[in-house]
Amino acid sequence: MTNTNSNVLLISGHPDLQRSIANSEILKLLASTSQIKIHKLDQACQGFQVDVAAEQALLTQADIIVFQFPLYWSTYPALMKLWFDEVFTYNFAFGPNGDKLKGKKVLLSITCGATENSYQPGEFNFLPLEQYLQAAMHPVKAAQMDIIDSVITFEMNSTPDEGGDQNSVIQLAQQHVERLTHLINQLN
């Protein structure tokens, strides 16, 4: 059970959790074993409509923010990109008065369908994952938030036509949640 000393908010960036195995399983396990507030962008931002004031209010109330997302072409999905574009605004997240998120603790919780080995020069994804995440996390860094750690799980592909296995993904999701929960408990 997660200690609830801090207000922990998880932002789920998966664009369609009904079609997800890995991210849906992670959220289900977290919801059943902890007091983390789970905010699903696929529900909150239907039709790619973002209620900026509501989203900003959620962020300001949190002490620890977990960004949970599947890696799509080495970054987060378009829905999460739109969310960052709309929510991390001038004089909220950056700019002369943009300190509303300054110092908030961030954990990255990422699922990757590919192998860890594929993220290196000469392989399918060309570069180390950390290099892709530098650009993806620019809004977080611009907001002066502190990325404390990351939980990244590779081979989270459940599509049999692409060599994936649903049972393996469910086991990996359980391990992912154990690692993430451990980190959250350490921060509390």
| pLDDT value of residue 155 | 85
Residue 160 has pLDDT above 60, yes or no: no
pLDDT, tens digit, for every residue of 16-29? 999 888 999 999 99
- Which structural domains are found in the chain, ordered by start? 8-187 (3.40.50.360)
| pLDDT value of residue 62 | 96
| pLDDT value of residue 103 | 97
Backbone phi and psi for residue 27, each to the nearest 5 degrees, phi listed first? -65, -40
pTM of the model: 0.91
| pLDDT value of residue 91 | 97
Give the integer Cα–Cα distance in Å for 96 and 92: 9
pLDDT, tens digit, for every residue of 68-105? 999 887 789 999 999 999 999 999 999 999 999 999 99
Residue 173 has pLDDT above 70, yes or no: yes
168-187 average pLDDT score: 93
pLDDT, tens digit, for every residue of 102-153? 999 999 999 987 777 777 777 666 776 677 788 888 999 999 999 999 999 9
Q: Following DSSP, what letter does each residue of 144-178 receive, concatenated?
A: T-EEEEEEEE------GGGT--HHHHHHHHHHHHH
